[in-house]
Amino acid sequence: MGKNVLIIGASGDIGVAIASRLAEDGYQLLLHYNKNREMIDKFRNKINNDCVLTVIQADLRIETETKRLLTELVFPVDYIIFASGTAHFGLFQDTSEQIMDEMLALHVKAPWMITKHLLPSMIRQQFGKIVFITSIWGEQGASNEVIYSSVKGAQNSFVKALAKEVAPSGIAVNAVSPGFIETKMNNNLTNEEKKELYNEIPMNRAGKPSEVAGIVHFLLEDNSSYIQGEIINMTGGW
């Protein structure tokens, strides 16, 4: 395979699932994480460690950290996967300006900066793929998650607009928009609350990180080359 894939947010449940799926197919991985180094080390112990080119820690809520990450990307990058992010629960009117700034930086500005930095080399080689993991709330919106819904909606718009701009240069830009996926991000929900959610989902279950990884893997393959600027919903019919 031989393609280099930068995974932003590789230590999350979805990020690890994506890294594992790509490692199976011989992709070369550049892994970013913020806090969960233990998860990165556990992943490396389970797979052929030769497929991991580098591991970079950076808190993408902080602009200087994002810029440092870019200086540490010494390997060429063919594909970028944005799987990082965090939800924020609470009433909009109670949300502090600091939280607003951090959510914008993490989900919107950091991906802008990373993409802007790596696009020139992709354009020169007339090849590249960029995939975002967004959210059902980026389209539907969710009460008590207004900020999260807003930044995920911004990611969707970025994907659609950038895809049109870079398509003539042979670069594909798409997103996977999951619904309720069984990850640590949903640990704040009680079992009863989860059951109520399952009753709203026609498939009557949560999605799996491995299922998200399967769609990402497909988007990196040659037989998805005519898919451009799409937000692929993965919601179990929710």
Of 33, 148, 198, 226, the active-site residue reads: 148
The C-alpha torsion from 213 through 192 and 189 to 131, rounded to 10°, is 20
* Tokens encoding 167: 């398509």
> Which pair of tokens denotes residue 213?
């990884």
Q: Provide the phi-psi class of 9: left if phi over 0, else alpha when psi is between -120 and 50, else beta.
A: left
Name the β-bridge partners of 8.
Answer: 82
Residue 27 known to be catalytic:
no
Catalytic residue positions, numbered: 148
